[in-house]
Amino acid sequence: MPRYNAPFEVHVHGQVALRPDVVFEQLQDALKPVWKYAGARSLSDAAGSSYEDEPGIKFDPQEHVLQMCWTVEGDDDFRQVLDEMCMNLNELAKAGAAIEVTFYDTEFEDDEEEEDTDAESRDDFVMLFVGPDPAAIMQVQRDLLVQDVVNLMERHFDGAELSGVVAEIDKLFGQRFDDLVNSLQLGKPPRGSSGGHGGMGHGGGRKPRHLH
């Protein structure tokens, strides 16, 4: 149902590479928390954005890509919806991806029009990550951090001088990945045990390619 007087306009932006075997029905099920929140009966019904100039939610079955540039009216409870969406997309993702979410305070905009100088904006920005395993997610986090740091430091240093900085970032992420793997190893049942899979199914796997 429409959310009248919703305090936020929430903009979701990102592109997620999906496994080649993923079909629309699987994606619709994965995104169900989002389109249900929007008051729609299906992903197709909710795919259009609140703004006509935004592409909305699109699935490219040839390129196996989910593209999102979509705005919906909502409240803080939409954050829980985003968590559920990311958990579901982890099961369909081929590689790590970042999803940017911006909360625009519509009540603040109304206060500004009324010249209420005491009002403070509740605008917020959240960066979410999805991927088939922790290594893929850490890879995206690492790449974004390197990009941000290099862009900042290139104002003062030549790019060729920053290899040491990038190496230190790789060390930090490498240690984080090793700590994660070690913590998951502690939760595994002994070899030969008839127990289950343990807490997280994607604990092992490859190490991010830049994290030596």
Q: Name the pLDDT band for 84 (thresholds 50, 70, 90).
A: very high
The encoded tokens of residue 122 equal 């509740």
Number of domains in the chain: 2
Same domain, 120 and 159: no
Farthest CA pair distance, the chain = 70
Do residues 62 and 111 both lie within one domain?
Answer: yes
Select from 132, 149, 164 the last residue of a domain. 132
- The answer on 144 and 123 residing in a single domain is no
In sequence order, which residues have a C-beta less than 8 Å from that of residue 97 and are 6 or more positions away? 14, 15, 16, 17, 129, 130, 131, 140
Residue bearing the bigger pLDDT, 31 or 173: 31
- Note the pLDDT of residue 80: 96
Q: Check whether residue 103 and residue 47 sit in a common domain.
A: yes
Indicate if 78 and 139 belong to the same structural domain: no
In a domain, 40, yes or no: yes
Q: Tokens for 28, please give them.
A: 């619709």
Instruction: Classify residue 212 by its DSSP letter.
Output: -
In-domain check, residue 1: no
Q: Model confidence over 46-62: pLDDT tens digits? A: 999 999 999 999 999 99
pTM: 0.76
Task: Give dist(CA 99, CA 41) in Å, integer.
Answer: 24
Give the least confident one: 42-46, 89-93, 109-113.
Answer: 109-113
Identify the sign of the CA torsion 166, 176, 139, 103.
negative
Rounded CA separation 138/31 (Å): 23
Give the whole-angstrom CA distance, residue 42 versus residue 120: 36
pLDDT at residue 212 above 50?
Answer: no
Domain boundary residue among 97, 116, 132? Answer: 132
Handedness of CA 77, 53, 89, 182 (dihedral sign): negative
The verdict on residue 200 lying in a domain is yes
In a domain, 3, yes or no: no
The DSSP letter of residue 155 is: T
- On whether the CB atoms of residues 122 and 108 are closer than 8 A, the answer is yes
For residues 45 and 139, membership in a common domain is answered with: no
- Max mean pLDDT among 2-16, 101-115, 138-152, 171-185 falls in 138-152
Domain span holding position 180: 133-212
The answer to the question of residue 45 being in a domain is yes
For the cut 60, the answer to whether the pLDDT of residue 64 exceeds it is: yes
Rounded distance, CA 181 to CA 188, Å?
Answer: 11
Task: Identify whether 2 is part of a domain.
Answer: no
15 in a structural domain: yes
Assess whether 195 and 112 both reside in one domain: no
Give yes or no: residues 95 and 128 share one domain.
Answer: yes
